[in-house]
Amino acid sequence: MAKFSAIKQHIYRKIASGDWPEHHPVSSENALAEQFSVSRMTARRALQELAEEGLVVRSKGSGTYVAPIKSQTSFMAIRNIADEIRQRGHEYSAQVHVLRHERATAQVADMLQVREHTQVFHSVITHCEDGIPVQVEERYVNPEIVPKYLRQDYRQITPHEYLCAISPLTEASHVIEAVTPSATVAQWLQLDKAEPCLRIQRRTWSEQGVVTYALLTHPGSRFTLGGHLQFTAQPHSSNTL
């Protein structure tokens, strides 16, 4: 594990356990550098990334503090798609296309931080809202962290639900892009003609390391990506876009 990631996970645990409630002071760069035997620059990187994720607030001259709970929701908060659909009052269902182990390609190995050709788990699932496909989820899973992943019935439970129960997430990264779906994905999404899709490339970590690498493809006509940002006014400053 990279040293700055070890610092981040230490702070994640402090916040998640309640040891550090909102507004609690976070260890200084110097203290973290000494505690983890790293440079001050490495400690600064960890705190800066946590600030960008909204978990801490940094104030020049007064230090770093745990952010208020209401500010800790990420723009790309990871939610269970089945819950989202049911909260809209609609029926959720899923179709499982692939559920197997296979050897990792160079790209998958790099994303999961394992050796190329290592056996990994691979699943492809279409999530539906009132019978209409709204997402194709292609996911690669590290079997060392989630050894029973292939034994689950993903028509009854989503991978998100199972993974959160078995190996709680501590970190995630996202890349969002517009893509033209392959013929197979277009068929799974029941697209009558080619249309642009939004694809979210996501990696998630637990305390043991990288858990999954997923590609989430949504038809452009059936998906909207949004978020809400809340700013705290600072003296003699303004928030601008």
Report, as an integer, the average pLDDT of 76-93. Answer: 80
**Could you give the CA distance from residue 48 to residue 216 in angstroms, rounded to a whole number?**
28
Please give the Cα distance from 58 to 4 (Å, whole number). 17
CA distance 141 to 119: 10
Q: How confident is the model at residue 236 (pLDDT cuts 50, 70, 90)?
A: very low
The pLDDT confidence band at residue 224, using thresholds 50, 70 and 90, is low
Tell me which of 30-44, 71-85, 179-193 is least confident. Answer: 71-85
What is the predicted pLDDT for the residue at 69? 54
Q: What whole-number distance in Å separates Cα of residue 213 and Cα of residue 180?
A: 20
CATH 1.10.510.10 matches 3-71: no
Kindly give, in sequence order, each residue whose CB lies less than 8 Å from that of residue 220, ignoring residues fewer than 6 positions away.
178, 195, 196, 197, 198
Q: What's the rounded Cα separation, in Å, for the pair 176 and 198?
A: 7
- Please report the pLDDT score of residue 89 as a whole number: 80
* Residue 82 confidence (pLDDT) above 80: yes
pLDDT tens readout for residues 86-139:
877 889 999 999 999 999 999 999 999 999 999 999 999 999 999 999 999 999
- The rounded radius of gyration (Å) of the Cα atoms in the chain is 20
Strands of the sheet with 197-206, listed across from one edge: 92-103, 119-129, 132-141, 209-219, 197-206, 171-179
Query: CA 29 to CA 151: how far, in whole Å?
Result: 44
Where do the domains of the chain lie? 3-71, 81-222
pTM of the shown model:
0.66
pLDDT for position 59: 82
Counting Cα atoms < 13 Å in the Cβ hemisphere of 170 gives 21
Q: How far apart are the C-alpha atoms of 179 and 100, rounded to whole Å?
A: 26
What percentage of the chain has pLDDT greater than the value 70? 87
Q: What is the mean pLDDT of residues 16-40?
A: 89
Architecture of domain 81-222: 3-Layer(aba) Sandwich (3.40)
How many Å apart are CA 223 and CA 185, to the nearest integer?
16
